Amino acid sequence: MEFKHTSVLLKETIEALEIKADGVYLDGTLGGGGHAYEICRRLGEKGRLVGIDQDADAIAAAGERLAEFGDKVTIVRDNYCNARQALGKLGITHVDGIVLDLGVSSYQLDTVERGFTYKYDTPLDMRMDQRQKLSARDIVNTYSELDLYKIIRDYGEENFAKNIARHIVAARKEKPIETTYELNELIKAAIPAKMRAVGGHPSKRTFQAIRIECNHELEVLQNSLEDMVNMLSLGGRLCVITFHSLEDRIVKHAFRELENPCTCPPEFPVCVCGKVPYGRAVPRKAILPSEEELAANSRSKSAKLRVFVRI
């Protein structure tokens, strides 16, 4: 299957980066190379782009798409949380801009055997990096009822998390839960019929929760943002595209902390902790998809772009 993915908020992200022809840029979630391609188009002879992704299919697709830019592009198979080490191996200490396009690519969702989707019957998987051992199947069949409940409640924001966890644990006593449709049926049985009729597919939130846990998505994001800002040159920009409220909340909070890292009590007349702002969010609020993009790509409806500039 061809790697197809429509980059969300592409125009807005490229504008926000304020790309310099001789700049060095990092795409920490390379995917099919949509954002990276537009960055490379604007680079001069001395410009450079490093793309990182943990998905082998994405690496292959992006390599093909960006081949025309030759030595300007370096692609690394890794998680963006290891970006500093990856850049260090290339002799790069600072970059002029970073893009993080979070969430799952259209390719991953639409490739049935990757086990991300609740729309087809396929073995449970959901690993973004297929080298890792932990899969969705392991989570569903080995996590305790309490842990499943917490994951589905916190990562899926699912009102029926407790009942879903109970149904999963009861079912796996009979036999392991192997496929997406088996999990679908358990979720369906755990949610009252009148509630299943509203708010989209009943499995959506639970599948999101299991995927986030499987790939440690929120933990990686939480632990990477300050490091990303520290990698920026003065005036450099970090662009983060999120697809659900949990991610956006982490980015919004991190940017606020980086804008005002002072730890002095509010009653102190002057700052004595010595912590100075790293930069500021520009603009103050998240950038949302245009009406045209929403009409052309339904998967963009939950996307938000936040931008931080280093000072």
- Cβ-contact 123, 137 below 8 angstroms: yes
Neighbours of 64 (CB within 10 A): 12
Q: Is 123 inside any structural domain?
A: no
Domain identity same for 227 and 257: yes
pLDDT of residue 292: 95
Q: Which two tokens stand for residue 11?
A: 């125009």
Amino acid 1: pLDDT: 47
Give the span between the Cα atoms of 87 and 61, in whole angstroms.
21
Kindly report the pTM of this predicted structure. 0.92
The domain of 98 spans: 10-107+217-310
AA identity, residue 73? V
Q: How many helices (H) and strands (E) does the chain have?
A: 14, 7
45-61 mean pLDDT: 95
- β-partners of residue 123 are 179
Residues 26 and 90 in one domain: yes
Q: Counting every residue, how long is the chain?
A: 311
- The residue out of 158, 185, 215 marking a domain boundary is 215
Give the pLDDT score at 108. Answer: 78
Q: Is position 1 within any domain?
A: no
For residues 221-228, average pLDDT: 97
Give the model's confidence band at 5: pLDDT under 50 very low, under 70 low, under 90 confident, else very high: low
Can you give the CATH number for the domain in which 205 is found? 1.10.150.170
Residues 18 and 101 in one domain: yes
Model confidence at 106, pLDDT cuts 50, 70, 90, reads: confident
User: Would you state the pLDDT for residue 4?
Assistant: 53
Residue 174 and residue 199 share a domain: yes
The answer to whether residues 94 and 77 belong to one domain is yes
209 shares its domain with 224: no
Residues 226 and 185 in one domain: no
Domain boundary at 215, 233, 267, which? 215
Which CATH number do you get for residue 16? 3.40.50.150
* In-domain check, residue 22: yes
pLDDT digits (tens, 9 = 90+) for 175-217: 999 999 999 999 999 999 998 888 789 999 999 999 999 999 9
Same domain, 202 and 237: no
Residue 25 has pLDDT above 50, yes or no: yes
DSSP state of 299: G
Into how many domains does the chain fold? 2
> Strand ranges (DSSP E) for 151-298?
232-242, 279-281
Question: Among residues 187, 215, 243, which one ends one of the domains?
Answer: 215
Cα dihedral: 291, 292, 295, 299 (round 10): -80
Mean pLDDT, rounded, for 88-114: 89
Residue 253 has pLDDT above 60, yes or no: yes
Residue 5 lies in a domain: no
